[in-house]
């Protein structure tokens, strides 16, 4: 029994090395993660390049891009570049929080329901179905409308609490197929508990699937947050890309020809979500031997 358990990690290491070999050669994966990395770096380092608060009014309203204002200014003279880099940071933060919360809840519910089965599975599946049929966007609209102060973290938390059911159902199905495998039976015969088997045997064999699930949850959180921001229910204490689009629409940037106000945030949201989708397709090709391009 001990020898079998000691030998178990070796195939996993071989799988990881094989996946890494194909990952560094997959154009979709490198392109997708490259775009996300560039925008993430801009969100992290960009605010260090400017000491002007993102909402501070300036003396040159409606100025096009120039050496002084790289992305131009708004109707009130606010620097668009400053708002853009702060908005990137907020957008990534809400994606991490929303996607992370949804992933944690979805993994816990999916793993426990799929492994335990029986009454536990029925109860958790019923809970999942209840949350699944609730119109998440409508709930978020009501919650955000009644909140006096809205922060990026709070927005991400509420998004995560409404986005986990589909991930839980998918993980439950995968876990249900793995719980009857020989390595799980060996761990069960050795006296390991439920959480130990899930964390040591089931989850590692689903690591690629879980990573891809988080990427989808991450991108979904960004889209939901941008939708809330665009209709005026974004954070009240921060700047986001969705809020930039909302302000540009509210103050008629398109009619005034101020393309520099709405193009950067719209392009960034599209680039992040699109790059995540392309990266997810690349990951599918890396982890699925039938889709690999030799």
pLDDT tens, residue by residue, 175-211: 988 888 888 888 888 888 888 888 888 888 888 889 9
Residue 73 phi, psi (nearest 5):
-130, 165
Complete DSSP assignment for 54-81: TT---SSTTPPS-SSSTT-B-TT--BHH
pLDDT recorded at residue 293: 57
CA 185 to chain centroid? 34
d(CA 55, CA 252): 18
**Mean pLDDT of the residues in the chain:** 86
Pick from 184, 180, 181: nearest CA to 196: 184
- Are the C-beta atoms of residues 234 and 111 closer than 8 Å to each other? no
- Are the C-beta atoms of residues 39 and 268 closer than 8 Å to each other? yes
Q: What is the mean pLDDT of residues 253-280?
A: 93
In 10 A of CB 97, how many CB atoms? 22
135, pLDDT greater than 90: no
140, pLDDT greater than 60: yes
Q: How confident is the model at residue 95 (pLDDT cuts 50, 70, 90)?
A: very high
> Is residue 113 within a helix (H) or strand (E), and if so which, with residue range?
helix 80-116
Give the CA count within 13 Å in the CB-facing half-sphere of 258.
25
Pick from 62, 209, 225: nearest CA to 158: 225
pLDDT recorded at residue 169: 93
Find the distance separating the first CA and the last CA of the chain, reported in whole Å: 38
pLDDT recorded at residue 52: 85
Q: In 3-state terms, the chain is what percent helix, strand and coil (to 5)?
A: 75, 0, 25
d(CA 230, CA 238): 14
What is each CA distance from 287 to 10, 172, 242, in whole angstroms?
A: 17, 20, 34
The residue to which tokens 């008629």 are assigned: 252
5, pLDDT greater than 70: no
Percent of the chain, pLDDT > 70? 92
267, pLDDT greater than 80: yes
253, pLDDT greater than 50: yes
Express each pLDDT in 7-59 by its tens digit.
344 455 666 677 777 778 888 999 999 999 999 999 999 888 888 888 889 88
d(CA 290, CA 287): 9
């Amino acid at each position: 029994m001990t020898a079998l358990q000691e030998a178990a990690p070796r195939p996993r290491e071989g799988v990881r090395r094989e996946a890494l070999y194909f990952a560094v050669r997959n154009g979709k994966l490198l392109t997708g993660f490259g775009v996300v990395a560039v925008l993430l770096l801009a969100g992290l380092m960009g605010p260090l390049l400017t000491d002007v608060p993102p909402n501070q009014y300036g003396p040159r309203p409606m100025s096009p891009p120039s050496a002084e204002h790289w992305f131009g200014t708004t109707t009130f003279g606010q620097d668009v570049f400053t708002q853009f880099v702060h908005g990137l940071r907020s957008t990534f933060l809400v994606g991490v929080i929303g996607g992370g919360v949804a992933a944690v809840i979805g993994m816990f519910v999916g793993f426990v329901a799929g492994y335990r089965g029986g009454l536990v599975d029925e109860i958790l599946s019923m809970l999942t179905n209840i949350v699944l049929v609730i119109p998440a966007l409508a709930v978020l609209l009501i919650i955000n409308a009644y909140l006096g102060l809205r922060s990026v973290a709070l927005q991400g938390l509420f998004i995560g609490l409404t986005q986990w059911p589909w991930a839980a159902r998918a993980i439950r199905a995968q876990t249900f197929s793995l719980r009857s495998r020989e390595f799980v039976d060996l761990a069960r015969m050795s006296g390991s508990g439920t959480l130990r088997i899930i964390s040591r045997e089931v989850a590692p064999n689903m690591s690629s699937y879980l990573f891809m699930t988080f990427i989808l949850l991450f991108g979904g959180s960004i889209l939901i947050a941008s939708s809330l921001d665009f209709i005026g229910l974004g954070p009240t204490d921060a700047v986001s890309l969705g809020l930039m689009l909302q302000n540009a629409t509210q103050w008629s940037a398109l009619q005034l020809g101020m393309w520099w106000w709405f193009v950067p945030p719209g392009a960034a949201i599209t680039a992040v979500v699109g790059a995540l989708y392309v990266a997810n397709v690349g990951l599918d090709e890396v982890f699925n031997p039938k889709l690999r391009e030799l």
